[in-house]
């Protein structure tokens, strides 16, 4: 059974990708991911505000030292030579490219237009095969309109695409009022792929300590339904590559996402739970299912359960929702 796939122009031996996570901080892990059948690896995210925080801290030390002991300034390196996170990240990309053949995709979470552009260029120069733009933005300002939020996304995409030649994927949230139209606008802005969906940090409260809890739970298989819906709706209606993420715990979720129309499926939580070799298990289970169903390639069944191809398109519409509610006693 052939499980080759193509994602934003990148040729892959498997549709199963490792999503952005701390596992990729170690090059040895990336080698292990390739050995166990990962189609590609999305590197852990580079957060612009972390870099700026380190820069500010360094400048503070420099300022205090200059006032107290001016002559000591000569003993400090220039800020350009001071490692504030970016260099390590770019070096990780370079090392990975030296040791594996699968595509390495940088993950960028910026906060300024300058940051999005500069760090994208750096990732390209370091050898990244693509960039995943992780736009983690919660519009908490009640004065900000929906059109302003949308323009923010589109401006980021346009700015990056004008600055780099490698493909760019956009990891976005599911909260746009018109997801279909926004997908088309992102396509027109230059995006090569959509990653559905970003898991926004959702805080919890500790009622005894009266503090905000900052814990983060692994995704669960039940969480696939929203991205599954939108991939099934978008398949065949946009020219973008579609990547599914969230809730992937086994080959079952991989199969469902591909049936909906996903080109690739990303996972991290399953690897934290079961180890990196679990990639091999998921690939084998995908191939075993294809053999059982008589499918030779992914294209044989990709999108076959999308709204475009399903025999009853109303299954995705309001009428079916009413039928479900009527069946609940």
At 6-34, the pLDDT tens digits run 999 999 999 999 999 999 999 999 999 99
What domains sit in the chain, N to C, each tagged with a CATH number?
Answer: 5-304 (3.20.20.70)
Alpha carbons within 13 A on the beta-carbon side of 10: 31
Q: Could you tell me where the DSSP H helices lie in 223-268?
A: 225-234, 251-260
Which secondary-structure segment (H or E) carries 109? Answer: strand 104-109
Question: What's the pLDDT score for residue 319?
Answer: 53
Percent of the chain past pLDDT 70, that is, above it, reads: 82
For the chain, residues with pLDDT lower than 70 are 49-84, 200-202, 214-217, 314, 317-329
Question: What's the pLDDT score for residue 64?
Answer: 43
Query: 3-class SS at 73?
Result: helix
* Structure token pair of residue 53: 């925080």
Question: What's the pLDDT score for residue 131?
Answer: 98
Percent of the chain past pLDDT 90, that is, above it, reads: 64
Paired sense of beta strands 168-172 and 130-134, if any: parallel
CA distances for 16 relative to 10, 20, 98, 259, angstroms: 13, 13, 21, 14
Question: What's the pLDDT score for residue 113?
Answer: 85
For residue 167, how many other CB atoms are within 10 A of its CB? 22
């Amino acid at each position: 059974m052939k499980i080759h796939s193509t994602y934003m122009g990148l040729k892959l031996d498997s549709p199963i990708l490792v999503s952005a996570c701390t596992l990729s901080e170690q090059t040895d892990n990336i080698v292990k991911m390739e050995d166990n059948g990962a189609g590609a690896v999305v590197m852990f995210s580079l957060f612009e505000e972390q870099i700026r925080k380190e820069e500010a801290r360094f400048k503070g030390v420099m300022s205090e030292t200059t006032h107290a002991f001016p002559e000591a300034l000569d003993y400090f390196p220039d800020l350009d030579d001071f490692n504030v996170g970016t260099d390590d990240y770019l070096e990780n990309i370079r090392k990975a490219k030296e040791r594996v053949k699968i595509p390495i995709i940088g993950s960028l979470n910026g906060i300024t237009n300058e940051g999005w552009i500069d760090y994208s260029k750096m990732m390209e120069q370091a050898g990244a095969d693509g960039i995943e733009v992780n736009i983690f933005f919660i519009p908490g300002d009640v004065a900000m309109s929906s059109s302003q939020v949308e323009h923010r996304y589109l401006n980021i995409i346009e700015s990056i695409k004008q600055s780099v030649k490698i493909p760019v994927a956009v990891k976005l949230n599911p909260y746009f009022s018109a997801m279909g139209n926004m997908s088309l606008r992102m396509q027109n802005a230059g995006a090569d792929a959509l990653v559905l969906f970003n898991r926004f940090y959702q805080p919890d409260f500790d009622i005894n300590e009266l503090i905000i809890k900052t814990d983060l739970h692994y995704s669960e298989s039940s969480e696939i339904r929203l991205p599954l819906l939108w991939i099934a709706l978008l398949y065949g209606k946009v020219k973008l590559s579609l990547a599914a993420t969230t809730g992937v715990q086994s080959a079952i979720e991989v199969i469902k996402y591909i049936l909906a129309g996903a080109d690739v499926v990303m996972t991290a939580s399953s690897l934290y739970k079961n180890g990196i070799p679990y990639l091999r298990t998921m690939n084998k289970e995908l191939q075993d299912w294809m053999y059982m169903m008589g499918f030779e390639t992914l294209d044989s069944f990709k999108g076959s359960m999308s709204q475009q191809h399903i025999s009853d398109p109303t299954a995705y519409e309001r009428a079916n929702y009413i039928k479900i509610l009527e069946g609940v006693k």
